[in-house]
Structure formats: structure tokens, C-alpha cells
Amino acid sequence: MKVVLKIGGSLIEQAESLLNAVTKHCASTGSKVKIVVVPGGGIFANRIREASRIHSIGDEAAHWMAVAAMEQYAHLLMDKSDVPLIDDIEHIPEGISILLPYRLLRTTDELDHSWDVTSDTIAAWVAHRIDAKLIKATDVDGVLNKDGLIEAISAKELESMGETCTDRILPQMLSKYCMDCIIVNGGYPERVVAAIEGRIVRSTYIKGNI
């Protein structure tokens, strides 16, 4: 089984506990699971956004600077967990690893260069490339509306909501490739592990093929 686990920059304080829990899960399971962590941009990408606004940086340069910011977060995650870094999705090791995405995205260059394309969309693109289950760990329980948590939603419905806890292009990516995505609160590592195992957990399940 392959899983792409997007760990948002909003989880910078909780990431160590989350990665430790997932690492422990990988060590304890008898199945040959391969979990690829796609890092968010977090505080590092926010600095690029600020610099882009102040200095009028073009979309092309800002895109690659933001992808480089994801690599900074990747190194932070590795430092907190000792989870190994990879930059190749052709030979993914068993267990958990953290992706350095810059070289891969430079080589393929299939995604738009826009602030609408963030690490969410990149994670979905990676999941599509390796035929993996997609889980997005963030600092909220899932997609919310005025009534609270939306437990299940189609990608097209999510797109129509406008601004949510995902980037704008993720719903389009899920629809295009008929991919599903689970959004779960990474502040509760046990929920992320449960999602990896396929168990029902407090989250939002996004269906891509409706």
C-alpha cells in the first residue's frame, strides 16, 4: 500500500508527535506500507508570499521559491523525526520518508506556476503519479461550514465552496484524476494513523469521481 501524507505547515508544533506516531505504525505493521510525506510550505512559504508582495516577484519565480520553501519545511521535519528524505518517487523505500519536491517538479513541470497551486495540489499530483491514497493532515478536523464539520463531500461541491482549508486547485485535481482525499486533524496523531489504516475517523472525505 502506498500513502501520500501531506503535512501542513500549520502543524509545525505538532509535526514531531505526528511523524513519531506514523513511524511507530510503520514499524509495527506487518504490511509493506510506503508512506511519502509531502511537506507544506508554512512559515517558509509565507515569507515568499510577503517578499512577492513587497518586491513584485513574478509568478514564475515565486512558484519555484515556494517549492524551495517546501524543502525547508522538509528538512525541519527530518530534523524533528529522523525520517529520511527522498527526492525520487520511482524508488520509494518501505516505511515513511519525506519528499524533497523541487527536483521532481523541475524535471516534470506539469503544474501551473501560480499561488493557486500550493503543496495541497502538489501532494495530489504526487499521489496520482504513484497511485497512492491521499491524506491531508492539517490543523482543523476537515472542511467546515456554518454547521460544523462536513464529513463527506464531492470534489465538485468543494470547488463551489470557494475558500476552504485546501488550495483552490486541489478539488480540480481530484476531479480530473477521480481521486479521493481524506482531510484529518494532524494534532491528533491517532486519527492520522487510523486514516492510514482505512478506519473511520473524524475527518472530511472528499470523493473525486462524483
Strands 148-149 and 144-145: antiparallel
Tens digit of each residue's pLDDT (9 = 90 or more) over 118-148: 999 999 999 999 999 999 999 999 999 988 9
H or E stretch covering 154? strand 152-154
Model-wide pTM > 0.75: yes
Tens digit of each residue's pLDDT (9 = 90 or more) over 49-98: 999 899 999 999 999 999 999 999 999 999 999 999 999 999 999 999 99
In angstroms, the CA 72 to CA 77 distance is: 9
In angstroms, the CA 206 to CA 89 distance is: 24
Structural domains of the chain in order of their starting residue, each with its CATH number: 2-207 (3.40.1160.10)
